[in-house]
Structure 1
Amino acid sequence: MTMLTTKSVSGVSSPPIGSPGRTVLSNSNKQKLRYKKETRICTWNVKTMAKEGKIYNAIQEMERMKIDIMGIAEMRWPASGEMQIKDHKVFYSGKDNGAHENGVAIMVTAEVARCVKNFVPISDRVMLLQIQASPININIVQIYAPTADKQEEEALQLYESVNQIISRIPKHELLIVMGDFNAKLGAGYKTTYIGSHGLGERNDRGDLLETFAESKELVVLNTFFKQPVRKLYTWKSPLDKPGRIVRNQIDYILVNKRFRNSFKSVKTYPGADLESDHVPLVGDFRVKMKKIKRKKLQTHNLGLIKDENVSKKIQDNFNKELWELEENLSAHQKVAKIGTIVEKIKDKYLKPEVREKRKTWITDEILDLMEERRLCKGRPNDYRNMKILVRRKIREAKEKEVKERCEEIEALQKKHDSYNMHRKVKEATGSFKKKQKGNLTDATGNIIIEKEKKMNTWKEYLETLFYDQREDGNYNKNALSGPEITPQEVQAALKLLKCRKAAGPDNIQTEFLKLLDDRGIDVITEVFNNIYNSGDIPVEWLKSEFIALPKKPSAKKCDEYRTISLMSHLLKLFLKIIHKRIYKKCESQISPNQFGFVNAVGTREALFAIQILVQRCRDVNCDVYICLVDYQKAFDRVKHGKMIDILKETGIDEKDLRIIGNLYWNQTANLRFEDEHTEYVQILRGVRQGCILSPLIFNLYSEKIFREALKDVDKGISIDGNRLNNIRYADDTIVFADKLEDLQLLIDKITLHSNNYGLDINANKTKLMIISKNVINDCHLYTNGIQIERVTKYNYLGTNINEEWDNTLEIKVRIGKARSVFNQMSAVFKTHNLNLDTKMRILRCYVFSVLLYGVESWTLNEAISKKLNAFEMWLYRRMLKIPWTDKVTNVEVLRRMKKEQEIMNTIKCRKMQYLGHIMRNGARYSLLQSILQGKILGRRGPGRRRTSWLKNLRTWFGKTSPELFSENCHDNR
């Protein structure tokens, strides 16, 4: 059998290459696979794959033509990723903004998929797929070039991006560049890289392609094989018709010069059909591939624990094993033994989880009709009729699938199985989040391809992010204060742990811990006490694994990724107990200005505080100068030494302090990125990610900064003679005053003390906003000598605030977001296969919850109230499929829905309930009561005031403000 050969390298496999896309990496144990005698590769512009059923049509054509690797141009799938469809895998790269434009992809058979090493999505016009082979690896670049009507700069940018990626590929490896180049090379232009068997006349883009091929020593294969003209053209013009043939050759397969002879044939197949004006260009070459043995993480079906019989067996076995643990084992050894016991039980009682293959709606009848349509390509009328028939059958099959899914949703609702019901809703609407992919670039902006470089980049990033000159943690080794942990504390903490959470490094899930009986609880309590009294924490508990997730589809730098941490559930249980013990002492140190990670308050209270405060200031002509402070990675910049000093001041028990100190001083972490791990690095600053103690610790840290910064500073907004100058939600901070010079003083002090504690204000993201009835210009605010940008609107805690301090814009935005959610889930809302009760439940859960976020702080006028009512009716009309041309009144729509309008009633009730909630809990909401009722320094101007938050309630419920306050002070709900 003739094998792929190279002139310079014989029998040497190049080192593996990483990728910034989803990486499918091999371990050191690779198995050679003698692949087929010939491998068939193809490139095809399909016009779109976003059409229902077309991907299955493509698979059918691949199987008919025995194609192993199909490059696709004009895929028109947004974002980048990979998808398993039947026995084929699709790697695709599209636009990051969600548009169904351009796009490239490579679809491979199951045999080839097992040999895929790396996938690199470059852009919506270029992608790279790397395949493990012997003696050299195969690199396939699929492209889709701009059409002739686009500017030449776009074509030059395309070739530049291709140049950048192929320059990183070792020269001794096989390189294939293929796709729709939208260029005509023409016939009779024979050179070293261009053959004489082109078609038609050359154009300017053809010259560009020749220049590219020569510069990279790539041979344009389909110009070197003599074929009939019908086997040369790749595109048929819309002007083509009998008697006037208008066909061109604009799709090509290019290969490095040294591997030209490995291809035995390259030609088009005009009889293939995908409803495209292009035809597939197919090449045959011979190669031996290597199958990559993947490292499979074995998962067990934890759902079986819900079965009473299985649960009872696991519970008896688990607790029996715990009782029999040897007494002389250390806490470290017992923790390790518990992990071993859990693994043995999983292997014995919980079968490995086998995910069912997703049912496909496509039927054999539709596939047969697609084949029949293909055979009609030479008969235009018959072909057109078959197209209509195929589309009708596809529509019927999709409707049947929706009906079946809706029946499943109804059945789950009757069983009150909310978890699985909402999973089915997401399946039916296609709203499961796909794993996003981003590229990693170096300092010069070039994509990092090599695996080792990527891992080193991440390691350097972690070392820089968490580096600090930290003192040794030799403190309080002989801690005495701190009572023994009791079984009751363990049980109480265990009830607070949530199931269905990813396990940490020890692979012990909460589901097992919840099966502990009294004696099992005693064993865990003993282990915890050994750790608590000695302060010696198991090594595995000190290791963290970060997972990098892109914050946005176009993430390219390390700081554009979000790192999340997986922790041991046994450690979580232990720290729940510590948290319970220290919470009250720590919370008493936190001022009412902090609304983040504090019991009974949250974003709702923070939004209410700032909205009502500024609204009342406007009423009395009190100008408000606001600085929206953004800290740079605040949680990762906490200094451990200062953190411990702050915790000491709270007066928590010595043993609790020692546990926290040992957790921080001995921790290490690595990062998992595309199935690879960095080396472990020391974490020398920052709060522990994913730890239950971290929010509380950060609040104390932030509180210390603001207390020191604002000590003896009497600036801000005067309420009942007291000055209020900041509102905080964790690190999201708003600082304000009634004068610009006062605000500058506050910012200077906060910046100085923040720097002393290691926190830096990000001047680029920190903004200035001025709320006033007068036009105020030439106002400048500075931090660290850098001028802060003034803005007219800002997104704070997910809501829009603006200089006019009018909720109209925010409500319009929320209506837009709710409409978008409804449209995304239209498959559920518009179907006739769900009853109205189920639809309304889903509507309230997914649409109304988006619409009514922050509703407690809204102030509504008559115009925006009408918009909300109109939007509600718009939803109901879409659910009932009432076209706008039908003259159906709102009364009739509500009659068909069997309900009354509810959005405005919900808003009224929630605002009144919230007022009562605030007034009945004076100790917790003293600041909010003060903002709502206190006297703000200023004087009302002439003329009618704007509608206020309280005016809404007075109008809706026909009561005065004193009546609203007094009635809501008592629990008369």
Structure 2
Amino acid sequence: MMSLSRPKSSGSKIGPHSDFREAPDLDRGPQKDKKKQNILKIGTWNVRSLIRPGKTENLILEMERLNMDIVGISEIKLRDQRDYWQNNHRIIYSGDEKGVAGVGIVLNKEWGKRVKSIVLLNSRIIMIKLFLNDKEDVAVIQTYFPTSAHPDDEIEEMYDQLDEVLELIDKKDSLVILGDWNAAVGNTKEVNVSGNNGYGRRNRRGQRLIDFCKEKEFVITNTLFQQPNSRKYTWTSPGGLKFQIDYIIVRRSQQKNVLQSKTYPGADINSDHNLLSMKFRPNGRKQFRQLNKKHHFDFSKLQETENKTKYQEAIKTELNNIDTNQIPTDINEKWILLRDAIVKAANNTIGANKELPRKPWINEEIIALIEERRKYKNLADIQDKIRYRYYKNLINREAKKAKEVWLSELCEEIENLLKCGKLEKAYNLIKKYFGQRKMMGNSIEDENKKLLIDDNDIVKRWKNYIEKLYHDDDELDELTEEDENDGNEITREEFMSALNALKSKKACGKDQIPAELIKALDMDMKDFMFSIIQESYDTGEMPNDFQDSEIVILPKKARSKRCEDFRTLSILSHTSKILTTIIKRRIEKKIDLQLEEDQFGFRNGKGTREAILSLRLLIDESLRINKPLFIAFVDLQKAFDNVNWNLMLKILKDIEINFKDRRVIHSLYKNQVAGIQINNSERKSYNKERRSTRMYYFTLPIQYTYTLKKRFQNVENAAQALF
């Protein structure tokens, strides 16, 4: 191994070089003091790829060392888009399919929780909107402009795209534009745009940036402050020449809010760019942001008899505290009584499931090597450059080795869990460390293709889209009263069978009661729930939670912007599924008898495989006898959202479904309400659905199948009349 010596210090200088890059009096003060001053420390850094193991961890280490709140990163060379947490930092990035460019923003824990909106325009422009207070937000844009090797047309296209993003930002909000602009504005002062403390000479693309800032009334902050040259340059070319091509830009009206803007040549991530930082004091004070977090109970505790008993006893205690004179007679009030008792008892006994953070694989030895490499970054001696290169290669090797060891240990842990039959824990580990993370951006286009990022505007857009999707001029007719005795009473066996059939680990409806809590009830509470289900069936009156559904929006593909490019999933109350399962089991046999043999959808023992087999046999037979075969493929758009309610209920009556069974279905349709949920936003807008067949109720695929069969019969009859 080559002999390594410590870097030489020159005279009485406080460091091995004289750029005073640590600046302890300005930048290394306690984090608490910075928070008290309401100062945002934000920066931008071309990291020259985050693909190598350890580079993301290296970035976070430098952010923590320099007390950075937010750092925009460019040329990350990562594919796709992601939004995730690592080591108490939130990392949001947008790459491309080839992994060539890529931009992102890294936020510390405090500011990571303040993200309101994310716009992933492409692999060169990303914007986030941060909550500051009720009156003001902070918009941060990270850019990565093409190099001089690219034609001017691409540069102009970038400015046009940047204009699109700027139009989304309110004038009252603070604005910070970060990035590698690949343009040199130089040290020539431009009134109201740049100062005379830039670096180098202006080039043609630097003049284009100046013109852009003039038009938008922006100022380039890192040309305003008098600094040593070592604090000005942002990029060192392969030949050793230094340039200033990275900039932090703010509105001219907020120039007074900029306290400092300079580079950190001592910050090291094995990049030829320096970290550029700005201290910025927004106009308003930071306010606490209350997040609407989803509550996940720790169901593993219910596996222990003692905890399960405590949970059951806590429910009884809650109900016993109610005065007998205050016991409600209304079915909705009865349900609320039981619902609240279940949720409160679960909170007090089993509590929330606290997800453990991801285990870091980077070790102290690698961190020490990173610290050692930093010492040689800016030293001019050839031996120091050799040492820097040595540590760079050593860190790459050790980081790769450490990650391989960590992955091996993790896989061994998963294998041991599988051998012990602990499938749930094994699956959770696989999902946690290897599961695909889908990027959930919260921007959407309106009818005129204008991008919306405000929560209120987005919810309003979804409300209008869903109401238009489900709109039908024909209202659901009132159900004609028939024999009240036309319907068998729900038996205890039916109730218990439907309850036990509830699937675990499924999202909750509006009542926030998962199936696991229902199954863990003791017999007394199950009897109470049974009485509510019975009363709903006998009277046709439903608790409000049974009729409410939460609509969750999921993208079908990356960078989805149109409402049509999303799936709308409805999350229902698990307790309501007990009733609908009972109805489904009662009517499916009658409907199945009415279906033809060529109907494969939603039938026991038949499915896609059987349908494909039948089609192949038909094709083979057609070829054998040399007879033409015509196949029509019909794709019914939003099929379950376009079934006529009145026709469907009429068909159910025609095939002699009992009145009470039909009344339950009618009640669920007539009074249904949908709540729109956008990226866990606390803002929701409820609208009445009108035409959807609520296919998520178990009964409705069966009803739809029979309705479709009647439609095809009409087509066949019409075709026969033509020949």
Q: C-alpha distance in 2, partners of 1:35/1:291? A: 14
- For residue 484 of structure 1, report the CA deviation from its aligned partner: 0.7
Which residue does 1:174 correspond to in 2?
174
Q: C-alpha distance in 1, partners of 2:300/2:37? A: 41
1:706 maps to 2:712:
yes
- For residue 453 of structure 1, report the CA deviation from its aligned partner: 1.9
- For residue 619 of structure 1, report the CA deviation from its aligned partner: 3.5
1:691 maps to 2:692:
no
Aligned residues of 1:234 and 1:248 also touching (Cα < 8 A)? yes
Counterpart of 2:570 (choices 562, 565, 574) is: 565
TM-score (norm 1): 0.66
Aligned residues of 1:438 and 1:553 also touching (Cα < 8 A)? no
The runs of 5 or more residues in structure 1 that have no matched partner are 1-32, 241-245, 716-744, 747-973
Which residue does 1:60 correspond to in 2?
61
- For residue 376 of structure 1, report the CA deviation from its aligned partner: 1.7
Q: How does 1:333-482 map to 2 (within 5 A)?
A: 333-377=333-377, 378=379, 379-428=384-433, 430-437=434-441, 439-478=443-482, 479-482=484-487
Which residue does 2:50 correspond to in 1?
49
3-state SS of 2:602 partner: coil
Note closer, same or farther for the CA distance 1:109–1:512 as it changes in structure 2 (3 Å cut): closer
Q: C-alpha distance in 2, partners of 1:587/1:671? A: 35
Which residue does 2:3 correspond to in 1?
none
Counterpart of 2:603 (choices 592, 598, 607) is: 598
Which residue does 1:831 correspond to in 2?
none
Aligned residues of 2:442 and 2:453 also touching (Cα < 8 A)? no
Letter in 1 for 2:699: L
- For residue 301 of structure 1, report the CA deviation from its aligned partner: 1.2
3-state SS of 1:627 partner: coil
1:118 maps to 2:123:
no
1:211 maps to 2:238:
no
Which residue does 2:686 correspond to in 1?
680
Note closer, same or farther for the CA distance 1:480–1:101 as it changes in structure 2 (3 Å cut): farther
For residues 904-941 of structure 1, give each alpha carbon's deviation from its aligned partner in whole angstroms, at most 9, with x where no partner exists: xxxxxxxxxxxxxxxxxxxxxxxxxxxxxxxxxxxxxx
Q: C-alpha distance in 1, partners of 2:266/2:437? A: 38
Note closer, same or farther for the CA distance 1:649–1:101 as it changes in structure 2 (3 Å cut): farther
- For residue 714 of structure 1, report the CA deviation from its aligned partner: 5.8
- For residue 37 of structure 1, report the CA deviation from its aligned partner: 6.0
Letter in 1 for 2:277: V
Give the fraction of aligned pairs with identical amino acids, expressed as a percent. Answer: 32
Which residue does 1:657 correspond to in 2?
662
Note closer, same or farther for the CA distance 1:254–1:320 as it changes in structure 2 (3 Å cut): closer
Aligned residues of 2:74 and 2:144 also touching (Cα < 8 A)? yes
Letter in 2 for 1:276: S
Note closer, same or farther for the CA distance 1:105–1:627 as it changes in structure 2 (3 Å cut): same
- For residue 691 of structure 1, report the CA deviation from its aligned partner: 1.1
- For residue 531 of structure 1, report the CA deviation from its aligned partner: 1.3
3-state SS of 2:451 partner: coil
For residues 789-839 of structure 1, give each alpha carbon's deviation from its aligned partner in whole angstroms, at most 9, with x where no partner exists: xxxxxxxxxxxxxxxxxxxxxxxxxxxxxxxxxxxxxxxxxxxxxxxxxxx
Q: C-alpha distance in 1, partners of 2:108/2:328? A: 56
- For residue 219 of structure 1, report the CA deviation from its aligned partner: 0.8
- For residue 419 of structure 1, report the CA deviation from its aligned partner: 2.7
Note closer, same or farther for the CA distance 1:493–1:411 as it changes in structure 2 (3 Å cut): same
1:39 maps to 2:59:
no
Note closer, same or farther for the CA distance 1:307–1:686 as it changes in structure 2 (3 Å cut): same
For residues 582-610 of structure 1, give each alpha carbon's deviation from its aligned partner in whole angstroms, at most 9, with x where no partner exists: 11001112222222211111111122222
Q: How does 1:726-875 map to 2 (within 5 A)?
A: none
3-state SS of 2:68 partner: coil
For residues 375-426 of structure 1, give each alpha carbon's deviation from its aligned partner in whole angstroms, at most 9, with x where no partner exists: 1222221111111221222122212212221221222122112232233334
Which residue does 1:538 correspond to in 2?
543
1:276 maps to 2:271:
yes
For residues 202-222 of structure 1, give each alpha carbon's deviation from its aligned partner in whole angstroms, at most 9, with x where no partner exists: 333223212211110111122
Which residue does 1:266 correspond to in 2?
261
- For residue 695 of structure 1, report the CA deviation from its aligned partner: 0.9
Letter in 2 for 1:85: Q
**How many pairs were matched up?**
677
For residues 418-443 of structure 1, give each alpha carbon's deviation from its aligned partner in whole angstroms, at most 9, with x where no partner exists: 23223333445x22433433631123
Aligned residues of 1:408 and 1:424 also touching (Cα < 8 A)? no
Q: C-alpha distance in 2, partners of 1:611/1:438? A: 44
Letter in 2 for 1:596: G
3-state SS of 2:717 partner: coil
For residues 617-650 of structure 1, give each alpha carbon's deviation from its aligned partner in whole angstroms, at most 9, with x where no partner exists: 2333333333321122111111111111111111
- For residue 332 of structure 1, report the CA deviation from its aligned partner: 2.4
Q: How does 1:575-614 map to 2 (within 5 A)?
A: 575-614=580-619
Which residue does 1:645 correspond to in 2?
650
Note closer, same or farther for the CA distance 1:713–1:319 as it changes in structure 2 (3 Å cut): farther
3-state SS of 1:347 partner: helix
Note closer, same or farther for the CA distance 1:319–1:558 as it changes in structure 2 (3 Å cut): same
Letter in 2 for 1:345: A
3-state SS of 2:507 partner: coil
Aligned residues of 1:137 and 1:173 also touching (Cα < 8 A)? yes
1:255 maps to 2:250:
yes
Which residue does 1:106 correspond to in 2?
105
- For residue 653 of structure 1, report the CA deviation from its aligned partner: 0.6
Larger deviation: 548-557 or 463-472?
463-472
Q: C-alpha distance in 1, partners of 2:294/2:427? A: 27
Note closer, same or farther for the CA distance 1:233–1:328 as it changes in structure 2 (3 Å cut): closer
Aligned residues of 1:114 and 1:291 also touching (Cα < 8 A)? no
Which residue does 2:22 correspond to in 1?
none
Q: C-alpha distance in 2, partners of 1:116/1:525? A: 44
3-state SS of 2:415 partner: helix
Q: C-alpha distance in 1, partners of 2:518/2:454? A: 42
Which residue does 1:925 correspond to in 2?
none
TM-score (norm 2): 0.88
Q: C-alpha distance in 2, partners of 1:600/1:279? A: 65
3-state SS of 2:643 partner: coil
Q: C-alpha distance in 2, partners of 1:37/1:644? A: 62
Note closer, same or farther for the CA distance 1:44–1:661 as it changes in structure 2 (3 Å cut): same
Aligned residues of 1:45 and 1:180 also touching (Cα < 8 A)? yes
3-state SS of 2:444 partner: coil
- For residue 182 of structure 1, report the CA deviation from its aligned partner: 1.1
Q: C-alpha distance in 2, partners of 1:385/1:175? A: 41
Note closer, same or farther for the CA distance 1:177–1:614 as it changes in structure 2 (3 Å cut): same
- For residue 273 of structure 1, report the CA deviation from its aligned partner: 1.1
3-state SS of 2:71 partner: strand
Which residue does 2:638 correspond to in 1?
633
Which residue does 2:229 correspond to in 1?
229
Larger deviation: 552-561 or 388-397?
388-397
Letter in 2 for 1:302: F
Which residue does 2:128 correspond to in 1?
129
Q: C-alpha distance in 2, partners of 1:461/1:271? A: 52
Aligned residues of 1:34 and 1:289 also touching (Cα < 8 A)? no
Larger deviation: 325-334 or 186-195?
325-334
Aligned residues of 2:117 and 2:442 also touching (Cα < 8 A)? no
Note closer, same or farther for the CA distance 1:524–1:191 as it changes in structure 2 (3 Å cut): closer
1:506 maps to 2:501:
no
Counterpart of 1:622 (choices 621, 627, 642) is: 627
Which residue does 1:202 correspond to in 2?
202
3-state SS of 1:292 partner: coil
3-state SS of 1:281 partner: strand
Aligned residues of 2:75 and 2:144 also touching (Cα < 8 A)? yes
Aligned residues of 1:183 and 1:250 also touching (Cα < 8 A)? yes
Letter in 2 for 1:157: E
- For residue 318 of structure 1, report the CA deviation from its aligned partner: 4.7
Which residue does 2:76 correspond to in 1?
75
Aligned residues of 2:102 and 2:124 also touching (Cα < 8 A)? yes
